[in-house]
Chain A
């Protein structure tokens, strides 16, 4: 009898905690969205920020965040796939592999600020890339790479062994088997995972303060030549991302409506992360269905 009472109490505590977590999340989202959403309109999303006047927008920041994300992914995905393929297919069971595994683990747990400082010292100063999108993308690659490697490794390992053997049995090289037979099977989970990882890149700020910089040149959205300094596509220009912008206006904002802009920008950021989350699931499912089931 007593055991049953204890069981009932414990169960209700656990359910209580689950409810609490949901409540915290709901409150958090509610707080951010309620305070922020009413500031979001087309003008806010597309116009330039104002230093001391009201009515500033977050257009360039939003663009920078997305562009930085694309740049980071362009660098990370091929490298991450390569190293992930190594870990799952080419690594032999020896000390070297253990060591590489350790490297991946350590790399993924570096604090972002340490990576940012490293970026400042090496990428920004020593390699002389300056505060730029490229520097930021390289620093973000440092975090994202281990995630991508693990993701690729796990996804490839989850591919049934018979798939690989089927490729090899047709007389294909191992490399061809991996890239043409195994990767397509692993693709849905890799895509889902990397979109989720991309969401994290989107919100990163600490490392970018030191690498991508905290301001943008006055972007000229009519000039799409990547070599021009004010072109939005120039990877060597400094760029303030949305997350950095929130940090900056929270700390230094002079505009009278700085709190509203911060709230609006936070809401945009959270909505983007939400979209990434939902998008990743949806896209992964669609991709899986497309690659497996009949149309």
Chain B
């Protein structure tokens, strides 16, 4: 019988160059993907390097103490004597982002429970796209709406000028709602259905099932979403700057002007000359932001490890 293996590609001589070809092809492909990955690593290292090179200058060259930067209450880099207390900004950043998470987290959980347990069809076709749309709205638009709607509303409803931590937190809570909801929904969807059915089979109500079975098992994932939300809120700049007031002090109430790390950077970066101490102090704040990113990523990792277990 005529073996088909030899009727078209006959000569073994032909095989040699072909083999070269697929090896070369593979090598080119590998080279390319390694290049892409390496580029990412180069990017991240250069970001850390360049920001640190500016941000560390005040501590190294100008003798500003780290302690003052982290715990000082007074920010007056061009004053005499200059003061570099960034605690009010740290406070503002933490306060707004945590408060935003406190507002958004329960809403996000409820929305995801609604989408997975109560009305999955309606949730999937309407609520989920709606929430994803919230994520797509640009932050300047949020700032614009915050300044035009939330600030006047707060001003009329509560004592104070309307701007402040609460205004910032409200704007941010809408912005981070999608992050929290999406991750929570994914976690709830990926639950083995046997778990739920077992609970229902024992005669538990839906709420009992949700509160005793579903929420505890998905808690680490839910927290991951919250932490990612906080991270996003922490780094948001323009929307917050428009509604928070930007006074470099720790406010006495939620309705008093305050500042975040990001808003002080956007506010002052353009007004300072590069290389000046004031400018470098702002880079130090950027460095703090950068380090906080690492902290958030670390926390998320710890939480994810718990999910896997």
Q: Once the chains bind, are B43 and A107 in contact (CB under 8 Å)?
A: yes
- Given the known inter-chain contacts A25-B130, A173-B22, please indicate yes or no for A83 contacting B138, CB distance below 8 A: no
Q: Which A residues are CB-close (under 8 A) to B23? A: 173
* Assembly CA distance A257 to B231 (angstroms): 37
Counting chain B residues whose Cβ lies within 8 A of the other chain, the interface size class is: 35 or more
A266 within 8 A of B: yes
Interface string of B128-153 (1 = CB under 8 A from A): 01111111111111011101010000
Q: Which B residues are CB-close (under 8 A) to A17? A: 106-107, 110-111, 114
B123 within 8 A of A: yes
Within 8 A of A (CB), among B205-254: 205-208, 210-211, 228, 231-232, 234-238, 242
CB-contact partner of B207 in A7, A114, A269, under 8 A: A7
- Given the known inter-chain contacts A117-B283, A270-B137, please indicate yes or no for A31 contacting B111, CB distance below 8 A: no
* Assembly CA distance A83 to B41 (angstroms): 11
Interface string of A72-89 (1 = CB under 8 A from B): 000000111111011101
Q: Once the chains bind, are B141 and A115 in contact (CB under 8 Å)?
A: no
Chain B residue with the shortest CB-CB distance to A122: B50
* Assembly CA distance A121 to B228 (angstroms): 27
Q: Which B residues are CB-close (under 8 A) to A4? A: 205
Interface-central residue, A82, A107, A204, by most chain B CB under 10 Å: A82
Interface string of B287-309 (1 = CB under 8 A from A): 00110011011001100000000
A110 within 8 A of B: yes
Q: Which B residues are CB-close (under 8 A) to A172? A: 22
Interface-central residue, A113, A203, A269, by most chain B CB under 10 Å: A113
Within 8 A of A (CB), among B149-172: 149
Q: Which B residues are CB-close (under 8 A) to A247? A: 140, 143, 238
Q: Once the chains bind, are B266 and A246 in contact (CB under 8 Å)?
A: no
- Given the known inter-chain contacts A15-B118, A122-B50, please indicate yes or no for A113 contacting B286, CB distance below 8 A: yes
B259 within 8 A of A: no
A21 within 8 A of B: yes
Q: Which A residues are CB-close (under 8 A) to B33? A: 82-83, 85-86, 89-90
- State the B residues within 8 Å of A (CB): 22-23, 25-26, 28-30, 32-37, 39-41, 43-44, 46-47, 50-51, 54, 106-107, 110-111, 113-115, 118-119, 123, 126-127, 129-141, 143-145, 147, 149, 174, 177, 204-208, 210-211, 228, 231-232, 234-238, 242, 262, 265-266, 269, 274, 283, 286, 289-290, 293-294, 296-297, 300-301
- State the A residues within 8 Å of B (CB): 3-4, 6-7, 10-11, 13-15, 17-18, 20-22, 24-25, 28, 31-32, 78-83, 85-87, 89-90, 100, 102-107, 109-115, 117-118, 121-122, 125, 142, 145-146, 149, 172-176, 178-179, 196, 199-200, 202-206, 209-210, 243-244, 246-247, 250, 262, 266, 269-270, 273-274, 276-277, 281
A selection of 26 A-B contacts at a CB cut-off of 8 Å is A7-B205, A14-B110, A18-B115, A28-B137, A83-B40, A90-B33, A100-B40, A105-B297, A107-B43, A109-B293, A111-B289, A113-B237, A113-B266, A145-B40, A173-B22, A173-B23, A174-B29, A175-B29, A176-B22, A196-B132, A203-B136, A204-B138, A204-B139, A210-B269, A243-B141, A246-B138
